Amino acid sequence: MLRSYEISMETNELSRASATAATSSMKPEAPLRIAFIIHNQAETGPYWKVVEQCAAYVRLGHTADVYCTSKTARLQGKERVIDGVRVIEAPDALWGKLRQGVDLWNALWRCWRLGRERYDVVHAVDCRPNVIFPSLYVQRTQRIPLVLAWWDLFGSDSKRFGEVYALTAGKIEGLFEEGFRSYADGAITITSYLAKRLERLGFPPENIIVQHLGCDTSAEPIRYEEARTRLLERHGIPRDRTVFCFAGTIYETDFALLTQALDILQARGVPYTLLWIGKHTLSVDVCERYHIKHLGIVPTMREVYEYFAAADACLLPMEVNLANTARWHSKVTDYLNAGAPVALTPVSDFPAYFLKHSIGWLAASGTPQDYALTLLQAIADKPYRAEKSRAARAFVRQELDVMAIAERAIAFYRLCAVKLL
């Protein structure tokens, strides 16, 4: 992982340098109109993170429209405004899990809707048909820069959904995932691995920056001691019990890593409770066996942060594989923003930060044995929990504040626009 660490630090320095150069070399500019395009359904996946980033653009004086897919609309789109961001939901003729960016009616509707507006830049995430075709359309008809983000790896060599998918639909996914990258004027990758992969595809390195998903760091921190006391009383958890927390859904291989590590803790007689927030399906037997208290959907992010802040450690077990190396899981950003130290595995750009900052515990490898040792270290470090909480909050304010990320992105947009002149 040393090489990954070196790449990450180097790429982030390039990101800051590019943004600074763009800002310092230009006179004050007029506000930008930004089209931000994702394939996801409204309120799913990275949707809220995208709205949060676009809300930061609005606070900086720009205009931002988010194009996504409606959960239900088949023929006509929908619009609403959230925190000053206009959210435009495209209709989709498919249903359920098939609403994943492949419906051509969705793509055509987006092209029509984009054609009714005038933008200064289009920021698109990944290359599924209902993202890349509308993005190329507005790039060429309006002669504006296309900044193409790479946030995940779904193609044939990621094998996230198994061998059968990798050899069938994964090959088509891979063609879209990589085949259109050269048409972009600039690229924002979510990890240093994807930046290097993009370079290997022939994309100019000077036109690439690495940006992780940020968060709003302006809220007052929740004190660990107070949050923990409230949590234990509310759920009847013994005071001597270690409390872990996990949020959201999890892939099968990552869940297997987690449960095998918990088996090791149980064999050693370690008393713990794992709070699980979100809609992931867990059987009663699994919850009983692994001491999981499944809380389901929690109404507000403030309440979610209350649980994070009360935990002795938040968990992010990820198998060490290509797909996870390419990702930056947004939940780690929220864990740290709540002041919760994180126990995780050496994937993504995590080693670059967790080896430098005292913000959690990084497993030596992706094996269940090493992850169990990491959880045991987190338990041993409970006396230092408040110290790690302060370090986590300071790290997020420095590296992952959404306003700072928005400023760097705006500067990068302007840099891409200058290169088109």
Residues in the chain: 421
Average pLDDT over residues 274-294: 96
Predicted confidence band of residue 21 (pLDDT cuts 50, 70, 90) = very low
**Residue 233 to residue 282: CA distance in whole angstroms:** 24
* pLDDT of the residue at 172: 79
**Residue 341 to residue 156: CA distance in whole angstroms:** 34
pLDDT in tens, 342-375: 999 999 999 999 999 999 999 999 999 999 999 9
Average pLDDT over residues 285-295: 97
Whether the domain at 2-214+401-420 and the domain at 224-399 fall into the same CATH topology: yes
> Per the structure block, which two tokens stand in for 240?
């001597």
Average pLDDT over residues 8-22: 43
Integer-rounded Cα Rg, in Å, for the chain is 22
* pLDDT of the residue at 167: 67
* pLDDT of the residue at 143: 97
* pLDDT of the residue at 166: 67
* pLDDT of the residue at 371: 98
> Which contiguous run of DSSP H or E holds residue 399?
helix 385-399
Average pLDDT over residues 162-181: 78
> Per the structure block, which two tokens stand in for 265?
């803790």
User: Is residue 32 scored above 50 in pLDDT?
Assistant: yes
- Mean pLDDT score of the chain: 91
* pLDDT of the residue at 18: 43
Predicted confidence band of residue 419 (pLDDT cuts 50, 70, 90) = confident
> Per the structure block, which two tokens stand in for 171?
């090959």
Predicted confidence band of residue 22 (pLDDT cuts 50, 70, 90) = very low
Domain ranges of the chain: 2-214+401-420, 224-399
User: Is residue 17 scored above 60 in pLDDT?
Assistant: no
Predicted confidence band of residue 175 (pLDDT cuts 50, 70, 90) = confident
DSSP string, 60-122: TT-EEEEEEE-SS-SSS-EEEEETTEEEEEEP-SS-GGG-SS--HHHHHHHHHHHHTS--SEE
User: Is residue 29 scored above 90 in pLDDT?
Assistant: no
- Considering only residues 25 and 109, tell me which one the structure prediction assigns the higher pLDDT: 109
**Residue 248 near residue 331, CB atoms below 8 Å:** yes
CATH topology of domain 224-399: Rossmann fold (3.40.50)
Predicted confidence band of residue 165 (pLDDT cuts 50, 70, 90) = low
Q: What is the pTM of this model?
A: 0.88
Predicted confidence band of residue 156 (pLDDT cuts 50, 70, 90) = low
* pLDDT of the residue at 173: 80
Predicted confidence band of residue 3 (pLDDT cuts 50, 70, 90) = very low
User: Is residue 92 scored above 90 in pLDDT?
Assistant: yes
pLDDT in tens, 372-410: 999 999 999 999 999 999 999 999 999 999 999 999 999
**Residue 111 near residue 134, CB atoms below 8 Å:** yes
What CATH code is assigned to 2-214+401-420?
A: 3.40.50.2000
* pLDDT of the residue at 48: 94
